[in-house]
Structure 1
């Protein structure tokens, strides 16, 4: 008769190599991604100039954090969100108001993320009664309400005139150079990626994936779909709030029109271009979204006069990029070939 102790020990011994192999593959994939990003950054520094390239890298990092919020909600939990810009706006204004009130910038960032999480929780409330496109339209309505509220509440937000935001400061040190801003943004991206990766490997992440694949089957297995959706929106909103807090410092000025519907659609396109099912898709999508205006500026110089002055060229190119990705890489740029 087989000794159960020997069986269990033998099973444990087979699990360790499998786990180690999985971790090795995980780190190999991330090592290749980091190497690729390093090469791209060095090429940008050489071609565009150090200060400009670092400024663009800061924007890419900020968009990446906001894109992670979209990927959690759309790619992992399978929900349609059309108003992600509202969560970024809530975080940006919360950060600005807290810093003006004397709260240190580093201490204000978690509070800005919490405000974004609260916005995500409020936006998810109709999920219990609505689904699919109807729920997506409710998130769009939430974004319109937030934008209008920021415009009308002039005593707090200064309305359409906008607010000035001081540079990010930590004690006596100020992140007022492109290198310092890029460093802070990179640290925030690493923290955000680490937390998201840990969540996706946890029971919460598995619940999101179950709800995404089949909500009825997930409910039959004991998963509460409404609670899973709420958690996804809270996490996605907190990431967007964090991105908004950083964005407010890097731009130095915020106004409601910066976070309108076009910005929300940019974030949604970011996720689909990069790959909504993978966290790395946020980085690749952010690179495309931030680089697109620079590519358009170069393209305008090569086009005839009427074409160069044509309105809506940006939207046309964005549409062309999305169509190309759908046809050539339907899983997104982050998908391994």
Structure 2
């Protein structure tokens, strides 16, 4: 039963990739697959924080930005990309830990708004600290390389991203089965009951944000290499909301939800491009078409599959 549960998604993803290669071309299909996998790694951070620890996070893009800029600055300073990735993850973890500090005094929507404020602060720092980040001009990031080999093709980039995603999924699965994962779920269900059982809710939340931030920072480090150029506006509030919608569309209670949600979020712009060709002129030129379509997808998932595309137990 367990083997079938693993094989079915793998077969589905293999079939989707084969269809994409046949219809869109290999380079474009593998390029989109790289984005899907990278978004999925970042989305895992939201799944940990929102789905497992039960906290509202509205500024996940800030953790991705911290990882991307840490990776870019380290590589520019002469550090090899592979050893720089753990430092990028650490930068995201530090951001997550800092964003979780108000959790001791705030809860619910008020705490979510504090994470939004943290994201705005990070974006403003990246813009203003021009001597380090080059501000709005951004940073050019070289291709990912290892021991003289460079991941210069979309297929190579997709393979590296997939290897990282599989490793991260294995680590997250072990975490959720551990005492820490049980503490997160206890805090999610009832903080008072968790505290009565000897669990420190504030400490559990901090660890959830640190782990979620580390995953997003790791995704940011990879994203910087795949895109080749980063600037503060890439990691604004829209990006944070995309990651949040990604988790809810895929399912916040299961790790696989990050992958299915990432597929929808990355495929959406392509669907919008097709719709613009088919819609009348005024509708095709509408600036809010993307947000409207995202909203329709979220509403559809909530009504037809409340547990997300990956399913899961409990509401």
Give the shorter-chain TM-score range.
over 0.9
Q: Identify if the C-alpha distance between structure 1 residues 168 and 271 changes in structure 2 by more than 3 Å, giving closer, same or farther.
A: same
Question: Where does 1:99-248 land on structure 2 (aligned, <5 Å)?
Answer: 99-248=75-224
**Structure 1 residue corresponding to 2:285, chosen from 305, 309, 329:** 309
**Structure 2 residue corresponding to 1:264, chosen from 217, 229, 240:** 240
Within 1, Cα distance between the matches of 2:85 and 2:184? 26
Within 1, Cα distance between the matches of 2:140 and 2:3? 41
Within 2, Cα distance between the matches of 1:151 and 1:127? 27
Whether 1:274 aligns to 2:274 is no
Whether 1:30 aligns to 2:6 is yes
Root-mean-square deviation (CA), in Å? 0.9
Within 2, Cα distance between the matches of 1:314 and 1:132? 28
Deviations 1:236-264 (A, max 9, x none): 00000000000000000000000000000
Within 2, Cα distance between the matches of 1:125 and 1:137? 13
User: Aligned-pair distance for 1:28?
Assistant: 2.2
Whether 1:288 aligns to 2:264 is yes
Would the aligned equivalents of 2:253 and 2:312 in 1 still touch at CA under 8 Å? no
Whether 1:250 aligns to 2:226 is yes
Within 2, Cα distance between the matches of 1:131 and 1:335? 27
Classify the secondary structure of the residue corresponding to 2:150. Answer: strand
Structure 1 unmatched runs, 5+: 1-24
Within 2, Cα distance between the matches of 1:336 and 1:85? 25
Would the aligned equivalents of 2:93 and 2:217 in 1 still touch at CA under 8 Å? yes
Within 2, Cα distance between the matches of 1:123 and 1:27? 38
Which residue is equivalent to 2:60? Answer: 84
Which residue is equivalent to 1:73? Answer: 49
TM-score under structure 2 normalisation?
A: 0.98
User: Aligned-pair distance for 1:47?
Assistant: 1.0
Question: Structure 1 residue runs of 4+, over 2 Å off?
Answer: 25-28
Within 1, Cα distance between the matches of 2:160 and 2:284? 37
Aligned residues: 313
Classify the secondary structure of the residue corresponding to 1:103. Answer: coil
Deviations 1:137-160 (A, max 9, x none): 000000000000000000000000
Within 1, Cα distance between the matches of 2:312 and 2:179? 26
Classify the secondary structure of the residue corresponding to 2:136. Answer: helix
User: Aligned-pair distance for 1:336?
Assistant: 6.6
Within 1, Cα distance between the matches of 2:180 and 2:110? 25
Within 2, Cα distance between the matches of 1:223 and 1:26? 31
Within 1, Cα distance between the matches of 2:89 and 2:167? 13
Within 2, Cα distance between the matches of 1:315 and 1:147? 22
Question: Where does 1:31-46 land on structure 2 (aligned, <5 Å)?
Answer: 31-46=7-22
Pick which of 43-52 and 232-241 moved more.
Answer: 43-52
Q: Identify if the C-alpha distance between structure 1 residues 336 and 143 changes in structure 2 by more than 3 Å, giving closer, same or farther.
A: closer
Which residue is equivalent to 1:14? Answer: none
TM-score under structure 1 normalisation?
A: 0.92
Within 2, Cα distance between the matches of 1:296 and 1:290? 11
Pick which of 237-246 and 302-311 moved more.
Answer: 302-311
Deviations 1:276-298 (A, max 9, x none): 01000000000000000000000
Which residue is equivalent to 1:319? Answer: 295
Would the aligned equivalents of 2:53 and 2:184 in 1 still touch at CA under 8 Å? yes
Would the aligned equivalents of 2:46 and 2:212 in 1 still touch at CA under 8 Å? yes
Within 2, Cα distance between the matches of 1:140 and 1:168? 31
Structure 2 unmatched runs, 5+: none
